[in-house]
Amino acid sequence: MWNRRDFLRMGALGSSTLIPKAFNSIEQVAAASAGVADRAPDEVAQDEFYWREIQEAFTLDRTLTNLNNGNTCPSPRVVHEAVKRYMDMANMLPVQYNGMIGRNVSTVRRRMAAEFGCDVSELALTRNASESMQIAQNGIDMKPGDEVVTTEQDYPRMLTTWDQRMRRDKIKVTRIQFPVPTTQDDLYQRFEKAITPQTKVLHFCHITNLTGQLFPVQRLARLARSRGILTMVDGAHALAHFPFKLRDLECDYYGVSLHKWLLAPIGNGLLYVRKENIAKTWPLQAVPDRQANDISKFEQIGTHPEALRAAVAEALAFHQAIGIERKAARLRYLTLRWANAIKSHPKVKILSNLDAGQTWGVAMVGIEGVDPRALSQHMMDRYRIVVNAVVGGTPPQQVFDYSGLRVTPNVYTTLEEVDTFAQAMLDVAKNGLPPAPAGRGGGGRGRGGV
Ligand SMILES: Cc1ncc(COP(=O)(O)O)c(C=O)c1O
């Protein structure tokens, strides 16, 4: 509901729209954030004037509604322009400029460490979460009989990595199952029960890619450390999504895809390795022994485009201009908006915990008796909504007995978009799916990965 203050602010915004917008949307967003700094994030989450400023920072195809940001997020215009600029620069004389941009990337490491709460000597820039996690998974020495405890709902590629180590090194992998949504205590107890004297690693997600189930990272890390066990945490979906500091998690390894919630260019990841573990972790590509204790050993991948890494600086600045508290509150507001609109329908099953501090921009929903793959296709065919169908698989894939749509809005998502999704869900819950349109189609069933 608009009030007098909103109209006065719109007047102020209206006059500024007569002046051409600055190219630098970071400044625009920072100015908008300064204008709401005296209000609580939960209140700002409902301020459409503020979020309009964020929405305008992106060059999107607004004929499509993207509710699959959990896969890969688009970058704001300012980030994408930076990639092009650095790419152009590098191409002038690659041996000179790619190297120079690469040296400047030390600024990105320093700022990322400061923002996300770790020492810069514990942070490596990688290409994605898969690379980060596999450096940890394949990098530690393990002997036959050593055990890893993980879950059936960890990311498929990470499960496959452990599967390969089982074949290669004869280690044992225990995958625990858990209901969704569940409590932090339940997850803690399941891990505690699964630990044996042979357990060397606990591996789990900070939040899962499926229902967004949150894990008690710090408690599990403390439990593991007290028994001489390492913790590897898959934070692909957590960093830059909701507020926390890496050092507070107390885990040993933490991997992230920066092209998810940080909105960095595709091909950026982060690996945190607790200082005492660096020397005992083998890098992906070989380095001289003198580098054994140096975090930069995990970045050795041969020649690569430094432009992509450099543009993380813009993504970080954009992220900081919004502020993590406001971003998390808006993602949660958007999720609650669609979830609350449909959750009381008897056929609708919300598979994520909607309590405060549990869920932000990743949540899952099913409709009783409706195949989520057909539902996802219907959303595309009828509404041009991109949203992911999730169904459990068989080993070595993720194994679970629920299914639904994984719904992941973003900071640029409009209320009209989530409202249309909610109405479409209610329509299917009441009337079932209409027959598939003949000869037309969207992107194919089960389109896109999770
Ligand atoms: C929980 C989780 N871990 C790891 C990954 C792998 O990320 P990437 O493909 O960017 O390496 C994903 C991707 O969706 C994920 O959701």
For residues 387 and 450, what is the distance between their CA atoms, to the nearest angstrom? Answer: 10
Ligand 1: atom nearest CA of 154 is 1
Distance 5 CA to ligand 1 centre (A): 42
3-state SS assignment for residue 123: strand
Structure tokens, 16:
């500024």
Q: Where are the beta strands (DSSP E) in 314-432?
A: 348-350, 363-367, 385-386, 388-391, 403-407
3-state SS assignment for residue 149: strand
The pLDDT value recorded for residue 21 is 57
CA 246 to chain centre: 15
Q: Which of 257, 400, 450 to mutate to test ligand 1, by most ligand atoms within 8 A of the CB atom?
A: 257
Structure tokens, 105:
């990337």
| Residue ranges in the chain modelled with pLDDT below 50 | 1-2, 4, 7-8, 10-19, 441-448
For residues 263 and 240, what is the distance between their CA atoms, to the nearest angstrom? Answer: 9
The pLDDT value recorded for residue 25 is 84
| Residues 251-261 pLDDT 10s | 999 999 999 99
The pLDDT value recorded for residue 7 is 42
Q: Which of 68, 71, 128 to mutate to test ligand 1, by most ligand atoms within 8 A of the CB atom?
A: 128
Distance 231 CA to ligand 1 centre (A): 18
Ligand 1: atom nearest CA of 129 is 11
Distance 236 CA to ligand 1 centre (A): 5
Task: Determine the residue type at 76.
Answer: P
Structure tokens, 249:
């998690």
The pLDDT value recorded for residue 5 is 52
For residues 59 and 61, what is the distance between their CA atoms, to the nearest angstrom? Answer: 7
- Which residue pairs from 298-302 have beta carbons closer than 8 angstroms and sit at least 24 positions apart in sequence? 298/124, 298/126, 298/135, 298/271, 298/273, 299/124, 299/125, 299/126, 301/127
Distance 3 CA to ligand 1 centre (A): 42
- Residues 133, 234: contact at Cβ < 8 Å? yes
Tell me, using a 6 A CB cutoff, whether residue 236 lines ligand 1: yes
Task: Determine the residue type at 338.
Answer: W
289 Cβ neighbours under 8 A, 6+ residues apart: none
Tell me, using a 6 A CB cutoff, whether residue 68 lines ligand 1: no
The pLDDT value recorded for residue 436 is 78
78 Cβ neighbours under 8 A, 6+ residues apart: 23, 24, 25, 26, 57, 314, 318
Alpha carbon separation from 170 to 143, 157, 164, 288, 398 (Å, rounded): 7, 19, 9, 28, 21
267 Cβ neighbours under 8 A, 6+ residues apart: 127, 128, 259, 305, 308
The pLDDT value recorded for residue 180 is 97
The pLDDT value recorded for residue 334 is 98
* Nearest one of 289, 344, 282, 295 to 142, comparing CA atoms: 282
Ligand 1: atom nearest CA of 130 is 11
SS3 of the chain: helix, strand, coil, percent, to 5: 45, 15, 40
Tell me, using a 6 A CB cutoff, whether residue 129 lines ligand 1: yes
For residues 262 and 115, what is the distance between their CA atoms, to the nearest angstrom? Answer: 12
pTM: 0.94
Distance 247 CA to ligand 1 centre (A): 21
- Residues 28, 53: contact at Cβ < 8 Å? yes
* β 403-407/388-391 pair status: antiparallel
**Cα Rg of the chain (Å, integer):** 23
| Residues 394-426 pLDDT 10s | 888 899 999 999 999 999 999 999 999 999 999
* Nearest one of 74, 56, 53 to 264, comparing CA atoms: 74
In total, the chain counts a number of residues equal to 450
Distance 177 CA to ligand 1 centre (A): 20
